[in-house]
Each structure stands twice: as structure tokens, then as C-alpha cells.
Amino acid sequence: MTREQVFEFFRRLAEANPSPTTELESNNPYQLLVAVVLSAQATDASVNVATKPLFEHIETPEQMVDFGEEPLRQAIKTIGLFNTKAKNVIALSRALIDDHRSEIPRTREELEELPGVGRKTANVVLNTAFGEETFAVDTHVFRVCNRTGLAPGKTVDEVEAKLEKIVPQPFRRDAHHWLILHGRYTCKARLPECWRCPVIDLCRYKPKTLPPEERVKSSAVRTATRGSSKARTAKARTDGPPTAGRSRSRPNRLP
Ligand code: SF4
């Protein structure tokens, strides 16, 4: 995409949703960090279901450590990989206490030192809790960037580096949210909803999806065409005179 197209791409996503944010629910940066750690390979909705009652009485690392690993495991057992995640949440809470931190770290390096915190998690926390212009690349962002030609790359690191380079102001801070939400609700993995996509003319994905009613029509036409061509073939076989080589199973009896 050209620079003008990239600008237009984000301008339209911004117009459709001027104040995007994460769908993970939290009341402070520590809870956000925990929610992001829990959201690896899980949906935000499933994490919210588990954290809602938990976050009513746990707001700090100290409260989490007092709560304990086994009760935490029980509280989050509806989320995938809950055993490892419970361990990591307790371990990262202990690390925060041991470092005498009243707040969670504000640099990527310090965040990534915490158990269970990788680059993507650090990027989400830096962006959502502290307003940094970071680009967390999850499965939705990776797909949208490659499909559309916005920031193609073979790995999440490549895509992140391209986003860093091409996303213009004033969209840098919220770009990551717009891309996630676009991937989650419009440019879906199995069937992108191109017919209602605000960036359809900028996107390089070729087999654009038709609106549902046109898909029904065209599949009916395909079925009808297949049916009539089968009928024509069957009729030609019954009506036509036997000719040499027409059928291998029946000998040609013409004089
Ligand atoms: S046109 Fe289709 S493939 Fe392209 S971004 Fe929109 S939904 Fe995705």
C-alpha cells in the first residue's frame, strides 16, 4: 500500500470506531496485566467471565499471592492452559512484591522479565495502561496485515516491525486496537465479511466475499448449471446413436 492508502485505511477504521479499546475488563494496570496473561490462546470474553468475580476482591499483587495458586487455578479453570497461567500469575505477583513495586513496570524490558509475560503482552500493557505507541501483533492483527497487504510478514515480529514503520500519526496509539477489532468482527479468519468492510477498495485480498444473499443466489445458479449439464449429458447418452469408441463396455453393433 502507498502512504496515502495506509493513511486512508486507518482514517476509515477510526471514523467507524473513534475510541477503540481492549475488550478485556480490568480496573487498574495490575489487573490488566493479569487479564492479558490469562488471554493467551483464549478469547477476551472467556477471560472476562473468569476475572469478573476474581477482580472484585483482588486488586494488587499482594492480594493475589494471599489468595494462593490453587484457589486461582479453580477460579480460572474455564480458560485454556489454566494450570500454567495460574503458576505464572502467582509468580509474576511475587516478583512485583519482591521488587518492592507499588506499580507495574513501564518499560518493555522490565515487563518481559516477569513470568508469563512475552513481547505481545508487554505491548498490550504499555499501550492500553500507559498510552505508549506499541503494536501488539496477535492472530487477528497478523491475519489482517497479511491479507490486506498493509504490513505483510512471515512472523509476528516482521509484521510488528512493518507496522512500526508505516503507521502514521494520529493513528499510532490506537492502530493495534483497530486492527484487532477489524480482524475479530469484519475480516474474520474463515469468512471475511468483505461486503460490509470499510476498506474494501484498499485491501489486496482478491477473492472478496460476496454478501450472503448473493452467495445464496450464485450457489443456486451453480447447482442449477451443474444439474442441467448432467441432464444434457444423460440425454445425449440415451438419444444419440452408438458410435465407435463411445462405450468401452458395449461392442459397436452397427453394420
Ligand atoms: S475487504 Fe475483506 S479481506 Fe479485505 S480487509 Fe475487508 S474484510 Fe478483510
Tell me, letter by letter, the H, E, C secondary structure of 123-138.
Answer: HHHHHHHHCCCCCCCC
Closest C-alpha residue for ligand 1 atom 2: 194
Task: Decide if pLDDT at 200 tops 80.
Answer: yes
Task: Decide if pLDDT at 249 tops 60.
Answer: no
Q: Relative to the CA of 193, which ligand 1 atom is closest?
A: 7
Mean pLDDT of 122-138: 94
Q: Relative to the CA of 203, which ligand 1 atom is closest?
A: 4
**What is each CA distance from 94 to 69, 88, 91, 105, 179, in whole angstroms?**
11, 10, 5, 14, 34
Q: Tell me how far the alpha carbon of residue 156 is from its chain's centroid.
A: 12
Tell me the percentage of the chain whose pLDDT exceeds 90: 73
Q: What angle do CA 166, 172, 174 make, to 5 degrees?
A: 130
Asked whether 134 lines ligand 1 (CB < 6 A), one says no
* CB-based burial label for 75 (10 Å; 0-12, 13-18, 19+): middle
Ligand 1 centre to CA of 118 (Å) is 29
Ligand 1 centre to CA of 53 (Å) is 37
Ligand 1 centre to CA of 42 (Å) is 24
pLDDT band for position 233 (cuts 50, 70, 90): low
* CB-based burial label for 59 (10 Å; 0-12, 13-18, 19+): middle
Closest C-alpha residue for ligand 1 atom 8: 187
| Amino acid 132: pLDDT | 94
Asked whether 151 lines ligand 1 (CB < 6 A), one says no
Asked whether 193 lines ligand 1 (CB < 6 A), one says yes
- Give the integer Cα–Cα distance in Å for 186 and 201: 15
* pLDDT, averaged across the chain: 88
How many residues in the chain? 255
| Amino acid 232: pLDDT | 65
SS3 182: helix
Asked whether 205 lines ligand 1 (CB < 6 A), one says yes
| Amino acid 253: pLDDT | 38
Q: Relative to the CA of 147, which ligand 1 atom is closest?
A: 3
Q: Relative to the CA of 199, which ligand 1 atom is closest?
A: 6
Residue type, 142: F
Catalytic residues: 120, 138
Q: What are phi and psi of 181, to 5 degrees?
A: -65, -35
Q: Which of 201, 174, 195 is nearest to 10 (CA)?
A: 174
**pTM for the structure as a whole:** 0.80
Ligand 1 centre to CA of 242 (Å) is 53
- Give the integer Cα–Cα distance in Å for 13 and 17: 6
Handedness of CA 70, 74, 75, 78 (dihedral sign): positive
- Give the integer Cα–Cα distance in Å for 161 and 158: 5
Asked whether 183 lines ligand 1 (CB < 6 A), one says no
Q: Which of 161, 126, 121 is nearest to 142 (CA)?
A: 161
Count other C-beta atoms under 10 Å from residue 44's C-beta. 17
Half-sphere exposure of 83 (CA within 13 A, CB side): 0
Q: Relative to the CA of 198, which ligand 1 atom is closest?
A: 6
For cell 463396455, name the residue: 249
Task: Decide if pLDDT at 234 tops 70.
Answer: no
Question: Cell numbers at residue 226, please?
Answer: 451443474
Task: Decide if pLDDT at 56 tops 90.
Answer: yes
Asked whether 16 lines ligand 1 (CB < 6 A), one says no
Asked whether 116 lines ligand 1 (CB < 6 A), one says no
